Amino acid sequence: MIRCVSCGKEYSNDEIIYTCTDCGAILEVICQPDVSKEIFSCRKQTMWKYKEFMPVDETKIVSLDEGGTPFIKCNKLGKELGIDLYVKVEGSNPTGSFKDRGMSVGITKSMELGVSTVGCASTGNTSASLAAYAARAGKRCVVLLPAGKVALGKLAQAMFHGAEVLSIQGNFDEALEAVTALAMKGQLYLLNSVNPYRLEGQKSIGFEIVDDLGWQSPDRIILPVGNAGNISAIWKGISEFHDAGFIEDKPMMTGIQAEGACPIVNAVQKGKSEIEAIKNPETVATAIRIGAPVSATKALRAIYDSDGYAETVTDDEILSAQKMLARKEGIGVEPASAASIAGLQKLVDQGVVDKGEQVVCIVTGHLLKDPNTAINACVEPLEVEADINKLAEIINK
């Protein structure tokens, strides 16, 4: 069953529907399997390990073995900050971001529905992921991207996997509005996170964190927030495992946004349950350059219900956290992902994160998604003759 998050109106799983026909609010899929957690043991480490919690036809699954991503204990950084820190590395998914989890379920749903064309608007990663999964499923794929604002690696992926790429003169919010209008006219099946099946896949990040911790909840989960689907999805996953009796506690959901694109933070800091859209969002972290997050209602509920928090970080804080994580812990992430680490540092300084807390930071996309930003942060390599004496001289300097 699909249900409106605002008025509670129910819809059948066979309907192609994105928002409530009565009140216009977003929808969620209701999923309450009656299983014990013992069934998960000995299964392959992908998100389909938890297939009973994925509301799609098991015989139609389209997968690239997404999920089962590294869960890295970061002792050096954790010690410096006085916390117990883990980093969930979503850049290790097949196309290099967490979007693959949602896309596997979303494309599987498109197989069930028998649609021929799928589409999305994207800041980059959604289009890269959709293009790959659509290729695997044999579906036509149309993606709308904000012109000039998509990192090179993501654009290359979308084009190389065969998507029809349309560069929109406008920002992500405008591209999403346009593709939603196309979907409403029946031109394509929309696979942005307003489609509630996307979040069903992404909730598996929450499943894996508590499984990795030995069926315990961490004290806090920190992640970057753009369109606000992921924070909503992870909270849904955690809540489903809690309701199933697999874990006793739940984490404080903590969302980090860039200073120039922070409607969720503004709402949380004013205690509001609705956002005010930001007209011209701007940040170096193009993945979260979003002013009107579609899943704001769900995200704000996740933050309030979990006694969580939301905070902004500057572009400089993002870029220095990105470099620090790469050099101190060996984890290479794209700028948006580093917002979670920059946010953690700020919240420790502010005393919002307590000493000794167990914190999981989600890093959402791979370093190579945005090679230009990475190269710009480094000095050019020195060109040297292949002469052993000269090389030794330089190395011993």
Ligand X SMILES: Cc1ncc(COP(=O)(O)O)c(C=O)c1O
The binding site for ligand X (CB under 6 A) comprises 97, 123, 125-126, 193, 224-230, 287-288, 334, 336-337, 364-365
The nearer residue to ligand X, 246 or 359, going by C-beta atoms, is 359
Binds 225: which of ligand X, Zn ion, none (CB < 5-8 Å by kind): ligand X
- 94: Cβ contacts below 8 Å, ≥ 6 apart: 64, 65, 66, 100, 132
The nearer residue to Zn ion, 294 or 347, going by C-beta atoms, is 294
Can you tell me which of 2, 4, 325, 362 binds Zn ion, judged by CB under 5 A? Answer: 4
Binds 46: which of Zn ion, ligand X, none (CB < 5-8 Å by kind): none
Say whether residue 231 binds Zn ion (CB under 5 A).
no
The nearer residue to ligand X, 142 or 336, going by C-beta atoms, is 336
DSSP string, 40-83: GTTS-SSGGGGGGGS-S-GGG---S------EEE-HHHHHHHTS
- Minimum Å distance from CB 151 to ligand X? 9
The nearer residue to ligand X, 192 or 217, going by C-beta atoms, is 192
Q: Is residue 35 a contact partner of residue 20, using CB atoms and an 8 Å limit?
A: no
**Site of tokens 């005010």:** 276
Binds 94: which of Zn ion, ligand X, none (CB < 5-8 Å by kind): none
The nearer residue to ligand X, 126 or 254, going by C-beta atoms, is 126
Binds 349: which of Zn ion, ligand X, none (CB < 5-8 Å by kind): none
Whole-angstrom distance, CA of residue 176 vs CA of residue 285: 18
Candidates 3-11, 59-67, 86-94, 142-150 — which segment interacts with Zn ion by CB under 5 A? 3-11
299 φψ region: left (φ > 0), alpha (ψ -120 to 50), beta (else): alpha
- 224: Cβ contacts below 8 Å, ≥ 6 apart: 255, 256, 257, 285, 287, 288, 336, 337, 339, 340, 343, 362, 364
Map the footprint of Zn ion across residues 8-37, applying CB under 5 A.
9, 20, 22-23, 25
The nearer residue to Zn ion, 4 or 294, going by C-beta atoms, is 4
For residue 118, which of 17, 202, 186 has the smallest C-alpha distance? 186
Which structure tokens are listed for 157? 């992926």
Query: Applying CB under 5 A, which residues contact Zn ion?
Result: 4, 6-7, 9, 20, 22-23, 25
